[in-house]
């Protein structure tokens, strides 16, 4: 079989080393690649999906349920497969959740498109059909399915968070983490210049500490930094600190490499030595004179100067990761200072570059000391401390928690939710099928396939739960079809919120049951899955160049 590649080499009209696959064959290959990617992660979908354990070359273990994480670690080699991996990652960065679903849908779309093309329907027609269907679907979600949660109570938010983490490792702990996600995110609410509320997910700082159990995870408001105060002689807590964030050393000054100082008088040598010390102590003095009581430095501070600060009642934290330093600066309203020099060539501190907060303190977490900044002036921050049995668990907990934060953020910012548990997908299927019949063109076929592709989600959900997918989905479709035919005030219209109950193997009203997802994530998911499928469908030729042969090393012993 593998001979195909080598014979193609000679046949190739391109006079280059490499292989070329075209036409139906490349499409088949791409689709197959996409399907095998989806196969890997499809068992992790839904509340009863399971995790994957991945071991890399050096033996590091990752246990994850997150589609994007799994695919990233799989080291996918096939180009079409890579597109799907990128797709999952993109979903992860844009929405933060639904990474598995997006891959499953894209793969299903591809599979069905391939069947159509085999029946001599031109890919362009399929693509147009998919585009049309996707547009209709998004409109349908926004108009029909989305439930406005204007008066955002807590309950829908907790439900959304809960739905996200129900499939993950945190799911077993009930609403404990969902509550925490909502609380910690609500605490960092800010308003942007247009007056719209913003919930920056990265203002929620996640710390991981081994030990205790997952249920002892906790959250508090304030920014936590995984570094101790520089010296134990410093105060443990400081009220209303004036914060300076610097990006330079306060160490003995030395000339740049290659600079020589030539002196005549030996006494001057001593003067140079003294001056080296003094330059920095003058700086430290200047910082203290400006009223600074807390110094956060991304670099080091020599012991001598640390002592100066400690004696003045100030605190210092050194070797702060740059990312943290930026966030501290942003949060407290300070600016990250790289040099004290001003335009006049002197050194000075601009008081406006200082930040402030209510409290800086050092607290003990498990076996380490951490610094917490509370009540920062500009931006509130909250910190979540995850506890767990070991590192693998903590890593996965962090990923899951991050996903739920993203989901809550989407709901808070867009204000609309849709019922989960396959209900949206089934409704869309029913809707698009009837929509297809209104079109008299070839696209009709593509739209019907698009509609059926969406059923992959409820199907996979019930398969993962070891339930009878055929019966459940037939029933679910009947419900949604009834709901869509119903007039506004008929009792059937409530059926549109019905979805799967995977534990019982029944249908239920998922809005009432609290299985909710952000509407935006569903729409994004459909759009990007369609785009990715179309991208791959457009390919009808693949040219793969052989890697350049490395010169054989005569010394290598084979």
Partner 1 sequence: MQQSPVIVVNTSKQRESGHKAQMSNIAAGKTVADVVRTCLGPRAMLKMLLDPMGGITLTNDGFAILRECEVAHPAAKSMIELSRTQDDEVGDGTTSVIILAGEMLAISAPFLERKIHPVIILRGFQKALEDAQVILRSIAKRVDTNDREQMLSLIKSAIGTKFVSRWNDLMCNLALTAVQTVVRRSDDSEFISADISASNKASGSAAADADLANKPATSGDATADAAASVAAGASAVSAPTATGAAVTSIEASASSAPDVDVREVDIKRFVRIEKVPGGEIEESRVLDGVMINKDVVHPKMRRHIENPRIILLDCPLEYKKGESQTNIEISREGDWSRVLEIEEEQVKAMCDKITALKPDLVITEKGVSDLAQHYLVKHNITALRRMRKTDNNRIARATGAKIVTSVDELKEQDVGTGCGLFSIEKIGDEYFTFLTKCKEPKACTILLRGPGKDTLNEIDRNLQDAMCVARNVLFNPYLCPGGGATEMALSVQLAQRAKSDIPGVEQWPYAGVAEALEVIPRTLIQNGGGNAMRVLTELRAKHANGLTTWGVDGEKGVPADMNEYGVWEPLAVKLQTIKTAIDSASLLLRVDDIVSGTSKKQ
Please give the residues from 55 up to 84 whose contact with partner 1 meets the rule CB under 8 A.
55-57, 59, 61, 63, 65, 73-78, 81
In whole angstroms, the minimum distance from the beta carbon of 502 to partner 1 comes to 9
State in angstroms the smallest separation of the CB of 74 from partner 1: 5
- State the DSSP code for 21: E
State which of residues 122, 135, 148, 236 lies at the interface with partner 1 (CB under 8 A).
236
- Binding partner 1 (rule: CB under 8 A), the pick from 12, 176, 326, 513 is 176
Closest residue by Cα to residue 380 from 187, 166, 541, 162: 187
Beta-carbon contacts of residue 427 (< 8 Å; ≥ 6 apart): 140, 144, 145, 480, 483, 484, 496
Q: How far apart are CA 241 and CA 167, in angstroms?
A: 43
Structure tokens at 543: 């040219």
Under rule CB under 8 A, residue 359 binds partner 1? no
User: How many residues does this entry show for the chain?
Assistant: 558
Binding mask 363-402 for partner 1 (x = CB under 8 A): xxxxx--x-x------------x--xxxxxx--x------
Q: Which is nearer to partner 1, 37 or 472 (CB)?
A: 37
Q: How far is the CB of 482 from partner 1 (least distance, A)?
A: 31
- The footprint of partner 1 on residues 179-198 (CB under 8 A) is 179-180, 183
Nearer to partner 1, 95 or 371 (CB): 371
Cα 370 to Cα 254: distance, rounded to the nearest angstrom: 32
Question: Rounded CA gap, 88 and 68, in Å?
Answer: 5
CB of 263: closest distance to partner 1 in angstroms?
6
Q: Does 541 bind partner 1 (CB under 8 A)?
A: no
Looking at the Cβ atoms of 59 and 440, the one nearer to partner 1 is 59
Q: Does residue 307 touch partner 1 according to CB under 8 A?
A: yes
- Shortest CB 380 distance to partner 1, Å: 14
Interface of this chain with partner 1, residues 208 to 227, rule: CB under 8 A: 210-216, 218-221
Distance CA(340)–CA(533), nearest Å, equals 54
Residue 344 Cα to chain centre, angstroms:
45
Instruction: Provide, rounded to whole angstroms, the least separation between the CB of residue 274 and partner 1.
Output: 9
The correct pick among 282, 303, 350, 471 for binding partner 1 (CB under 8 A) is 303
Query: Which value, in Å, is the radius of gyration of the alpha carbons in the chain?
Result: 30
Residue 37 in the binding site for partner 1 (CB under 8 A): yes
Question: Residue 479: which H helix or E strand, with range?
Answer: helix 469-485
Q: Which residue has the tokens 């994480």?
A: 69
Rounded distance between C-alpha atoms, residue 102 and residue 85, angstroms: 10
Of 221 and 414, the one with the shorter C-beta distance to partner 1 is 221
Q: Is 501 left (phi over 0), alpha (psi -120 to 50) or beta?
A: beta
Sign of CA dihedral 299, 302, 305, 307: positive
- Residues 239-268 binding partner 1 (CB under 8 A) are 252-255, 257, 259-267
Binding partner 1 by CB under 8 A: which of 9, 12, 43, 353?
Answer: 43
- Specify which residues 148 forms β-bridges with: 416
Least Å distance between CB 200 and partner 1? 20
Least separation in angstroms between residue 260's CB and partner 1 is: 5
Q: Which is nearer to partner 1, 172 or 434 (CB)?
A: 172
**What's phi and psi for 516, nearest 5 deg?**
-130, 150
- Which of 272, 351, 543, 546 contacts partner 1 by CB under 8 A? 272
Q: Does 50 bind partner 1 (CB under 8 A)?
A: yes
Q: Footprint of partner 1 on residues 416-475 (CB under 8 A)?
A: 465-466
* Nearer of residues 62 and 497 to partner 1, judged by Cβ: 62
Q: Which residues are catalytic?
A: 66, 99-100, 403
CA 516 from centre of chain: 19
Residue with structure tokens 């499928």? 533
d(CA 532, CA 129): 15
Strand pairing of 237-239 and 382-388?
A: unpaired
């Amino acid at each position: 079989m593998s001979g195909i590649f080598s014979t193609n080499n000679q046949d190739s009209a391109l006079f280059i080393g490499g292989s070329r696959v075209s036409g139906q064959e490349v499409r088949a290959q791409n689709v197959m690649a996409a399907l095998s990617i989806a196969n890997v992660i499809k068992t992790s979908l839904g509340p009863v999906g399971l995790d994957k354990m991945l071991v890399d070359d050096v033996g590091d273990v990752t246990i994850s349920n997150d589609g994007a994480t799994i695919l990233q670690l799989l080291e996918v080699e096939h180009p079409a497969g890579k597109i799907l991996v990128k797709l999952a990652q993109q979903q992860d960065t844009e929405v933060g959740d639904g990474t598995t679903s997006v891959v499953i849908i894209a793969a299903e779309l591809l599979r069905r498109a391939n069947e159509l093309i085999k029946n001599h329907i031109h890919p362009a027609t399929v693509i147009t059909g998919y585009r049309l269907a996707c547009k209709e679907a998004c409109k349908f979600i926004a108009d029909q399915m989305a439930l406005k949660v204007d008066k955002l109570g807590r309950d829908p938010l907790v439900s959304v968070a809960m739905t996200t983490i129900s499939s993950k490792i945190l799911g077993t702990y009930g609403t404990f983490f969902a509550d925490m996600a909502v609380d910690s995110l609500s605490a960092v609410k800010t308003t942007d210049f247009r007056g719209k509320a913003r919930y920056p997910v990265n203002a929620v700082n996640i710390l991981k500490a081994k030990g205790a159990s997952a249920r002892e995870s906790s959250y508090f408001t304030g920014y936590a930094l995984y570094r101790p105060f520089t010296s134990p002689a410093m105060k443990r807590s400081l009220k209303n600190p004036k914060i300076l964030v610097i990006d330079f050393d306060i160490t003995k000054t030395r000339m740049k490499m290659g600079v020589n100082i030539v002196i005549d008088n030996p006494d001057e040598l001593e003067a140079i030595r003294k001056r080296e010390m003094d330059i920095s102590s003058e700086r430290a003095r200047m910082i203290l004179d400006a009223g600074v009581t807390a110094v956060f430095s991304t670099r080091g501070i020599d012991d001598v100067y640390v002592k100066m600060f400690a004696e003045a009642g100030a605190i210092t934290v050194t070797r702060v990761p740059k990312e943290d330093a930026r966030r501290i600066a942003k949060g407290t309203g300070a600016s990250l200072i790289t040099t004290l020099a001003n335009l006049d060539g002197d050194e000075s501190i601009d008081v406006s570059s200082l930040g402030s907060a209510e409290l800086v303190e050092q607290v003990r977490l498990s076996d380490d000391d951490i610094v917490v900044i509370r009540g920062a002036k500009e931006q509130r921050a909250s910190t979540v401390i995850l506890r767990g049995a070991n590192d693998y668990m903590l890593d996965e907990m962090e990923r899951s928690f991050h996903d739920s934060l993203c989901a809550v953020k989407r709901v808070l910012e867009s204000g609309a939710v849709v019922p989960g548990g396959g209900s949206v997908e089934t409704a869309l299927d029913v809707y698009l099928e009837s929509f297809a019949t209104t079109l008299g063109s070839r696209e009709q076929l593509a739209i019907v396939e698009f509609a059926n592709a969406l059923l992959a989600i409820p199907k996979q959900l019930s398969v993962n739960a070891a339930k009878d997918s055929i019966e459940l989905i037939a029933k679910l479709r009947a419900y949604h079809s009834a709901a869509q035919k119903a007039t506004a005030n008929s009792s059937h219209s409530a059926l549109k919120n019905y979805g799967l109950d995977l534990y019982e193997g029944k249908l239920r009203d998922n809005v009432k049951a609290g299985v909710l997802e952000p509407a935006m994530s569903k729409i994004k998911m459909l759009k990007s899955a369609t785009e990715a499928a179309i991208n791959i469908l457009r390919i009808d030729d693949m040219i793969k160049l052989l890697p350049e042969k490395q010169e054989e090393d005569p010394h290598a012993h084979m």
